[in-house]
Amino acid sequence: MPVFTQAFTLRATNNVAPFSIEYSGDFDNSVSGSGPTIIPFGTTAPTSLPNTTGAVSPWGWPVGFFEDFVGPYTITATSGGLWGWGQCTTGTYTWDFVPCWGGGNGQSNLNRANMSIVGSVATFRVTVDTGNVTAAPFSGVGITTGAPAMQSKWGYWEFNMRMPVGANGNQTGLWGAAWITAVDGNNNWPQEIDVFEQTGSPTTTMQSTLHYGSTSSTDTPLGLPTTLPYNSATAFHTYGCLICPNYIALYADGILQTVRYRAGVNTPSFTGLTGVSGSGPTATQTTQFHYDFDVMQTLIGAYCGQGFAANVVPAQLPVQLQCDWIRFSQLNAN
């Protein structure tokens, strides 16, 4: 790979004074010089990323979405929204309520009162059910940005949160989750990335899943569990997903946990990234199949896990997932 040095003079879109960057390195990943740190689109995922807080992107790229749960939390509707389960506001955005996927069938009910905001932290609780919406024995709550959300094909999602833990450390049947999906009318599920789920797994396991397929019946999920060097239920940590034309990479506190590449670019490869044309920020998906995140939504919540809620016992509850903020940095041509 050739190595070069090139100086640039750039002007920010808000008309502030121009600044200079000297780029020195190859076409993949090595960057040095003055000015904002820029992570280029390359063929190797960065092993670490800036672990920052607030409404500022780690690289100075545009922040397309930032939810800091300033409150107050208000239930604005008990019907309507993306799936008809009602809506709420957080002081920043309007969100749609999401039931445990499947809405019953031995899983947890949706209870809107199980969400709250205190001190700019959103809390999502799982409780013994008191008779709400469906007939399952437990209740949880989740929310989604709905559609449309972020008009950006490539970018970096981050969730600063603390995962749930059951009484005496018993995680059986619990399901805390943060994930993203495509919502373009041409791109139906299963274009989904589960950034972090705990479907009954230990609090030291970051369970991530890439879903792909042409229809829901052909979904072929790729589970990517990794071991964290800490207990995810004792403190807030940042969990991220970098979506690029050549790879999807998952991070915990800015440290790479796992990555999957487009076939022919690097290994290990991931079928869901086939059909991408180009390797820069203007890269396109040549087919409406697998991943094509022209428009994205995010979802977060806490439930009893799908398909194994029967293993949950009342003594484990209540439990809670807490989220301090959610951020999306637009890594695109705009």
Contact yes or no for 124/110 (Cβ under 8 A): no
Whether residue 133 contacts residue 91, with contact meaning beta carbons closer than 8 Å, is answered with no
pLDDT of residue 70: 92
Q: So what's the pLDDT on residue 182?
A: 72
* pTM metric for this prediction: 0.83
What are the backbone angles phi and psi of residue 218, rounded to the nearest 5°? -110, 15
Q: Pick the more confident residue, 92 or 292.
A: 92
Average pLDDT over residues 114-137: 79
- Quote the percentage of the chain above a pLDDT of 70: 71
Is domain 43-330 annotated with CATH 3.40.190.10? no
**Taking the domains of the chain in order of start, what are their residue ranges?**
1-35, 43-330
Average pLDDT over residues 56-67: 82
Burial class (CB in 10 A: 0-12, 13-18, 19+), 77: middle
The whole-number pLDDT of residue 267 equals 93
- Among candidate residues 290, 288, 287, 152, the one with its CA nearest the CA of residue 211: 290
- Report pLDDT digits (tens) over 179-227: 888 765 444 566 788 999 887 788 999 999 988 776 767 778 889 999 9
Residue 287: how many other CB atoms lie within 10 Å: 11
Cβ atoms 262, 238 nearer than 8 A? no
What is the torsion angle, in degrees rounded to the nearest 10, for the CA atoms of residue 119, residue 179, residue 207 and residue 168? 40
The Cβ of residue 186 has, within 10 Å, a number of other Cβ atoms equal to 11
User: Number of H helices and number of E strands within the chain?
Assistant: 0, 22
Per-residue model confidence (pLDDT) at position 287 = 57
